[in-house]
Amino acid sequence: MMKRPMCLLLGCHAVSRLAKPLVPALAALLFAGGGAAQGVNSLGASPLSYASPWGPSAVTVTLPQGGTSITFKSSFEGVGELAIPGVLYKPAGSSKGAVVIVSGGGGWSDGREGHYGRSFSSAGYAVLVIESNGPRGVTNTLIDGAAVSIFDQLQDAYAARKVLVDAGYRSDRIAIMGAGRGGAVALMAADRTFGGQAQGDRRFALAMAVTPSCVLRPRAPQPIAGVFVGFAEKDSLNSIPGCQILAREFAAAGGKIATKVYPGTASGFDGEPIFVRMVHDPRIENFINCSVAVDAGGRATFEGKTFTHSEFAALVGQMKKSCMTHGAFGYTNLTQKANLTLDLIDFLDSNFAP
């Protein structure tokens, strides 16, 4: 087994194997005894804006740390171009000649997306963390799923891929990864259904999804990437049965997919390290009971109505009227977050072997 950098075994809060210091505020909270952050009640609603393990929080660092901030252009028909922010991490030590794009889910944070950037970098991979909400004037999509189209997030991932290929990275050694909504983006990128025929020249080699939403399910899967999916055992926000159906159908269509359930975990278990007690957020839009069939080209069908890519907000609006509920429970499990991180690196290593 490859020797792991010590930061990974400790939950990967260090910036790299050079043992750069933690962001002081995060370090003090993380090692102060594992209590809940001020303003967050165990098994109670958080009075602070977005104070939860799922995404950006009023009491944590939002911008991923340890890399170099960049921007790149993402084009949209009828809209023009948007400047998308990213944080680029170079491999620490010997490079493995591959790169991982990390798609921010409900909004990026240092404790989750930054963690993955530093972790994969310390294992020898280049990493580009991207964020789709800010350029569209949105802070967080957890309480308004229609605020940013998930198809726009997928387009941002393709634009990031192009930037990397233009910079000299091999097109057949690029992976995409995300947690929560970002995990759903990764699953979409692994199936030609969501990108049409034009997706052939911009495919990813691998897709890694952590606690993804599996609301959008291809009617006839068309696998184009190897996939790893990590589930939380007691996920109250994303449907494990729904994702398992998606995984079986993906495999039946010839796709290569591995799944793993992490015991003792809830939604957001790979999130902010200060949220180690159970938190309930009643504001979160919960689509766990929703299922949308998607045909080739990305046309979605729900309750007898069809929706194109550009009608994503209308699709979400329709789900809000029928299957959507509110609220979710979650907390960060540092032990399983470290185990998950090692599993993701092993998946990369086994598929990107020289």
Q: At what angle do helices 181-189 and 150-166 cross, to 10 degrees?
A: 60
CA dist list (Å): 88 to 129, 318, 337: 6, 37, 22
pTM given for the model: 0.85
Using an 8 Å Cβ cutoff, are 189 and 154 in contact?
A: yes
- The C-alpha atoms of residue 187 and residue 200 are separated, in whole angstroms, by 16
8-state DSSP, 223: B
Determine contact, residues 62/108, Cβ cutoff 8 Å: yes
Structural domains in the chain, CATH included, are: 6-11+44-351 (3.40.50.1820)
Tokens of 218: 């291809």
- Please write down the HEC assignment for all residues of 122-191: HCCCEEEEECCCHHHCCCCCCCCCCCCCHHHHHHHHHHHHHHHHHCCCCHHHEEEEEECHHHHHHHHHCE
Q: What are phi and psi of 15, to 5 degrees?
A: -70, -35
CA distance 346 to 354: 14
Paired with 223 in beta bridges are 191
Amino acid at 231: F
Contact 258, 228 (CB under 8 A): yes
61 vs 177: CA distance, rounded Å: 21
**DSSP H helix total and E strand total for the chain:** 8, 14
Looking at residue 211, what DSSP letter applies?
Answer: S
Neighbouring-strand partners of residue 87 = 69, 129
- Which backbone phi and psi does 149 adopt, to 5 degrees? -70, 135
Give the separation between CA 113 and CA 119, rounded to whole angstroms: 10
C-alpha span between 352 and 172 (Å, rounded) = 9
pLDDT at residue number 231: 97
The two three-digit tokens of residue 118, written as one number: 């530093």
> Which residues touch 252 (CB under 8 Å, ≥6 apart)?
221
Reduce the DSSP state of residue 206 to 3 states and report it: strand
pLDDT 10s digit of each residue in the chain, 354 long? 444 443 333 333 333 333 333 333 333 323 323 333 333 333 333 333 445 666 655 445 578 899 999 999 998 765 678 999 999 999 998 999 999 999 987 778 899 999 999 999 999 999 999 999 888 888 778 888 999 999 999 999 999 999 999 999 999 999 999 999 999 999 999 999 987 555 557 889 999 999 999 999 999 999 999 999 999 999 999 999 999 999 999 999 999 999 999 999 999 999 988 888 898 999 999 999 999 999 987 899 999 999 998 899 999 999 999 999 999 999 999 999 999 999 999 999 999 987
Distance between CA atoms of residues 222 and 240, nearest Å: 21
CA distance 36 to 59: 11
What is the model's pLDDT at position 55? 63
Q: What is the pLDDT of residues 242-286, one digit of tens each?
A: 999 999 999 999 999 999 999 999 999 999 888 888 989 999 999
